[in-house]
Amino acid sequence: MTDLFGSDDEYGGDPLEEASETAPLAERMRPRSFRDFVGQQHLVGGERILSKLLSGELRQSLILWGPPGTGKTTLARLVAAESGMRFVPFSAVVSGIKEVRAVMAESEALQKRTGKRTLLFVDEIHRFNKAQQDAFLPYVERGDILLIGATTENPSFEVVSPLLSRARTLVLKPLGAEDLGRILRRALEAERGLAGRLGATDEVLTKLANAADGDARRALVALETVASLLPDGGEIDEKTLAEALQAKQLAYDKSGEEHYNLISALHKSVRNSDDSATVYWITRMLRSGEDRRYLLRRLIRMAIEDVGIADVGALRVTLDADETWRRLGDPEGELALVQAAVYLARAPKSNAVYRAYGAATRDVEETSAEPVPLHLRNASTGLMREVGYGKGYSSAHDDPAAVDEMTCLPPLLEDRDYFAGS
């Protein structure tokens, strides 16, 4: 059988194949053993999960979930190298259902013919639709393949439930500045990296690491850019570093996981009356390019939901911020958003109306819709008065005792207090 991926070797390619000298620095510096792997100590250190998996035969499919540049592909290749299985890399970006079915059939035939299983690595598995992901299920179920999927998106939303139930999800974290500094230093010293070409202080490498936002690939790309700006033997200085980095680009996806993480952080900082955290999170969203109209809608919601009747002027502040931004645009109008957010953070808080509305909604949905009590009905005709419309009604303006003596809820709910404890 001819290999779908262009090789006649039925046992697949080398997952740790050495990159060519012309490959990008990030690819050349990909670790070739777990000893060289940096970061993710909660997975690979000591007696952690991946270390245990590697001590014996790997039996369970894996979903590796984490931000870009945190080691998902590298971990998959290292696991594959230790497994002894046929390794097939597969990209969800360029492949469709036809390719999925073809490689599944090939893997099934190999299993029957030689007993050798296939380790299939699917990069960006979240890009496959439901039908494409479902195509893996029978082969994973029978054990013809062991699947390792990598994704930057939340698997709860992007990977079908049957596949999730057959795999173990491992969460990778952004790399810390110390880990990125080690990776950068190794790249400067390694023969397959930039050995002898550049010098750099730890302080400069720390700045470079901080600019990468936990992404090892981004850090190495930036270092390679710096190298292109300096002669061999040069020392990385502040000016060259600034030129290479230009404006910092924040990792962000307006419709993805990070979008919801950041708006959650902003909302909860406002609710917690933390004005400094509020400024930080809204600034980060603004600098990331978040839709200003979306932010304004969320601020208006916070004014109603979290500040509420404790400061009814908060709603006016957010509406004025909306109008100001629409008149001024960016960048001048951005300050109106920040000012409104700080006002909300510093304002007293009450969610009494929010909770009362929720409780009243449940009553409306779960109890019978009783008729409006007769004394609350408007008696606009003689017939209405005759049948009792308005009978027993007292205006609290004329009879203050009516506040306590007259009920305005239907009989089934007459003792309900939606603001108890507020």
What CATH number is given to the structural domain containing 295? 1.20.272.10
Question: Is residue 333 domain-resident?
Answer: yes
Question: Is residue 379 domain-resident?
Answer: yes
Question: Is residue 4 domain-resident?
Answer: no
**Exposed e or buried b per residue across 281-291, where buried means at least 16 C-beta atoms within 10 angstroms of its C-beta:** bbebbbebebe
pLDDT in tens, 349-358: 999 999 999 9
Q: Please, which residues bridge with residue 234 across strands?
A: 198
Averaged over 255-284, what is the pLDDT? 90
Q: Are 194 and 230 in contact (CB under 8 A)?
A: no
Q: How many domains, in total, are found in the chain?
A: 4
CA 251 to chain centre: 11
Question: Is residue 1 domain-resident?
Answer: no
Q: Do both 65 and 149 map to the same domain? A: yes
Indicate the DSSP class of residue 250. Answer: P
Q: Do both 41 and 127 map to the same domain? A: yes
pLDDT in tens, 210-267: 888 889 998 998 898 888 888 888 888 888 888 888 755 555 565 567 788 899 999 9
Question: Is residue 216 domain-resident?
Answer: yes
Question: Is residue 355 domain-resident?
Answer: no
Q: Do both 390 and 292 map to the same domain? A: no
| Domain termination residue (choose one: 138, 156, 171) | 171
Q: Do both 49 and 85 map to the same domain? A: yes
Question: Is residue 356 domain-resident?
Answer: no
Q: Do both 331 and 390 map to the same domain? A: no
Q: Tell me, what's the pLDDT at 256? A: 64
Question: Is residue 395 domain-resident?
Answer: yes
CA–CA dist 345, 262 (Å, integer): 16
Q: Do both 342 and 320 map to the same domain? A: yes
| Domain termination residue (choose one: 143, 171, 199) | 171
Q: Do both 275 and 151 map to the same domain? A: no
pLDDT in tens, 159-215: 999 999 888 899 999 999 999 999 999 999 988 888 888 888 888 899 899 888 889
Which residues are within 8 A (CB) of 159 and not within 5 positions of it... i.e. 6 or more apart? 63, 125, 126, 133, 149, 151
pLDDT at 376 over 70: yes
Q: Do both 187 and 144 map to the same domain? A: no
Q: Do both 235 and 264 map to the same domain? A: no
Q: Do both 338 and 286 map to the same domain? A: yes
Q: Tell me, what's the pLDDT at 56? A: 52
| Domain termination residue (choose one: 153, 171, 189) | 171
Cis upstream peptide for 331 (omega within 30°)? yes
In whole angstroms, how far apart are CA 24 and each of 68, 160, 187, 229, 274?
16, 34, 12, 16, 43
- How would residue 394 be classed by pLDDT, with cut points 50, 70 and 90? confident
Q: Do both 50 and 164 map to the same domain? A: yes
Q: Do both 53 and 98 map to the same domain? A: yes
Quote the mean pLDDT of the chain. Answer: 85
What CATH number is given to the structural domain containing 127? 3.40.50.300
For residue 397, the enclosing domain spans 370-413
